[in-house]
Amino acid sequence: MPPCILPIRPRTVPIHLRRISSCPLSDLRLLRGTMNTRMETNRRWYRSWRSKPQLRLTLSVVSCLALLSRPCSAQASPASFSDLAARATAARTANDIPGAIDLYQQALKLNSQWPDGWWFLGSLHYASGSYDAARDALSHYLELSPNAAPALAMRGLCEFETAEYGPSLKDIQRALALGAANQPRNEKILRYHEALLLTRAGMFEDALRSYGFFANEPDPNPELLLALGLAGLRTPLLPNQLKDDQKQIYISAGRAALSFMKKDTDAARAEFQRLFDRVPPVPNAHYLYGYLLYATDPEQAVIEFKKELVVNPSNANAEVMLAWIPLLRNDGIEAMPHARKAVAEDPTLPSAQLVLGRALSESGDPKSGIAYLERTMQLQPDNLEVHLALAKAYAKVGRKEDARRERLLCLEMTKLETTKNEVTNNDAIPPTRP
């Protein structure tokens, strides 16, 4: 708390000393006489005051009381802040958003460590569509409360609106992990934006799992179907980046995928067939159906992946899935041609590197397989399948310490994955690919 500073009153200039320099000489002589008379009066009063101690004591007490009665500036500051905070709360309660914003800003200038002030300022800016200002206010709040899930969620939504897509996805996912989806409406908003951002980032399978949250949606709107269709057809765009004449294909794909997620297999089959009948063929339509089928009907999934390769022979993702299915049976020989084709079509695809590394390791060449698996680990350090494959390959070539390290890491990652699945509580789209 700052020291109490008593205000100093400016010395008052006696009226008879003002503008002396402008007085004529005769007036100056008169003033001199007046001043001598007053000085003699003051001397007599001073001698009387010195001879009366009781009078001196009384005057001293009066002077002290006068000083103590003056409010000190440090005591006024908290009262001023409290007044602003109360007025800001009243304005917010009355839905006076501009007034509340102004009052919160004034209060925060006096106390920048006020968490509630930053939270409400960020919320009000968000409600008024000022997403830059909302993001900044919420960042101040998170400096004071780093694990506040609602603030992380709202900042993530602000960053989405300001096209800061990477930070937005990071904030939203962290908010979800911390329990921000505590109400159905909140969870819908966050899962939807998470899925949009995952799609834009090219993480299509993860996006489909996020959209699985909407499997029980009774009356899905076209915007949801359009967004789901973008993830299903592996198009790394946001819905507002599509032209109007492109939207219907994606809405159809989204409707087919959502019917499958609802476990309405007949409706899904009919919707997918309408998609397959389009001319020209729709890329990734057969792949999407195969991906959805794989968990429950792997044989039919293989048929769909092969049909995709007829439509699009260079589809590396279909080759990856055709390699992955025999690898689950530890059959590297059957997986090898599809794995090599996947790497040839897209050398930058991590899952292609993974399936080729596993195929080599399972077919008797673990040393060559390790090179591909380690390359995959550099691209996807959080991929559990890579670490499982490395643990097995290291053991085969006698690298016991490396194998042990990978096994321990797999145990840690399995615990985290289990916790994540419990939080999302989504079994509409189980993970089915590397």
Distance (Å, rounded) from C-alpha 131 to C-alpha 261? 34
Q: Is residue 62 part of a domain?
A: no
Tokens of 387: 């670490």
304 and 201 inside one domain: yes
Element (H or E) spanning 150, and its range? helix 149-161
Distance (Å, rounded) from C-alpha 424 to C-alpha 237? 24
For residue 81, count other CB atoms closer than 10 A to its CB.
18
Q: Is residue 110 part of a domain?
A: yes
Q: What is the pLDDT of residue 131?
A: 98
Taking residues 271-287, what's their average pLDDT? 96
Distance (Å, rounded) from C-alpha 190 to C-alpha 157? 8
Tens digit of pLDDT for each residue in 192-225? Answer: 999 999 999 999 999 999 999 999 888 899 999 9
**On the CB side of 77, how many CA atoms lie within 13 Å of its CA?**
11
162 and 94 inside one domain: yes
Distance (Å, rounded) from C-alpha 223 to C-alpha 167? 23
Residue 315 · residue 309 · CB < 8 Å: yes
227 and 297 inside one domain: yes
329 DSSP assignment: T
* Whether the model pTM is above 0.75: yes
208 and 243 inside one domain: yes
Residue 194 · residue 230 · CB < 8 Å: no
Q: Is residue 11 part of a domain?
A: no
Q: Is residue 264 part of a domain?
A: yes
302 and 222 inside one domain: yes
Q: Is residue 381 part of a domain?
A: yes
Q: What is the pLDDT of residue 47?
A: 54
153 and 190 inside one domain: no
237 and 318 inside one domain: no
Closest CA to 375 of 397, 348, 401: 348
Q: Domain limits at 345?
A: 314-418
Distance (Å, rounded) from C-alpha 308 to C-alpha 312? 6
pLDDT at 54 over 80: no
Which stretch of 39-43, 120-124, 149-153 has the lowest confidence by average pLDDT? Answer: 39-43
Give the domain CATH number at 407: 1.25.40.10
Last residue of a domain, one of 261, 291, 310: 310
Tell me what the pLDDT averaged over the chain comes to. Answer: 84
368 and 348 inside one domain: yes
Distance (Å, rounded) from C-alpha 112 to C-alpha 105? 9
Q: Is residue 71 part of a domain?
A: no
Distance (Å, rounded) from C-alpha 250 to C-alpha 67? 78
72 DSSP assignment: P
Q: What is the pLDDT of residue 77?
A: 47
253 and 215 inside one domain: yes
Of 54 and 230, the structure prediction assigns the larger pLDDT to 230
Taking residues 26-36, what's their average pLDDT? 41
Q: Is residue 414 part of a domain?
A: yes
Burial of residue 40 (number of CB atoms within 10 Å: 0-12, 13-18, 19+): exposed
323 and 306 inside one domain: no
Residue 236 · residue 200 · CB < 8 Å: yes
* Signed CA dihedral, 353, 233, 193, 215: sign only: negative
Structural domains in the chain (count): 3
Distance (Å, rounded) from C-alpha 372 to C-alpha 393? 11
Last residue of a domain, one of 279, 310, 341: 310
Taking residues 395-424, what's their average pLDDT? 84
Which stretch of 173-182, 227-236, 283-292, 315-324 has the lowest confidence by average pLDDT? Answer: 173-182
Q: How confident is the model at residue 61 (pLDDT cuts 50, 70, 90)?
A: very low
195 and 165 inside one domain: no
Q: Is residue 210 part of a domain?
A: yes
375 and 319 inside one domain: yes
Residue 432 · residue 204 · CB < 8 Å: no
Distance (Å, rounded) from C-alpha 115 to C-alpha 123? 12
Residue type, 411: L
Secondary structure of residue 43 in the 3-state scheme: helix
Distance (Å, rounded) from C-alpha 286 to C-alpha 290? 6
- Tokens 């080759």 identify what position? 319
330 DSSP assignment: T
For residue 422, count other CB atoms closer than 10 A to its CB.
8
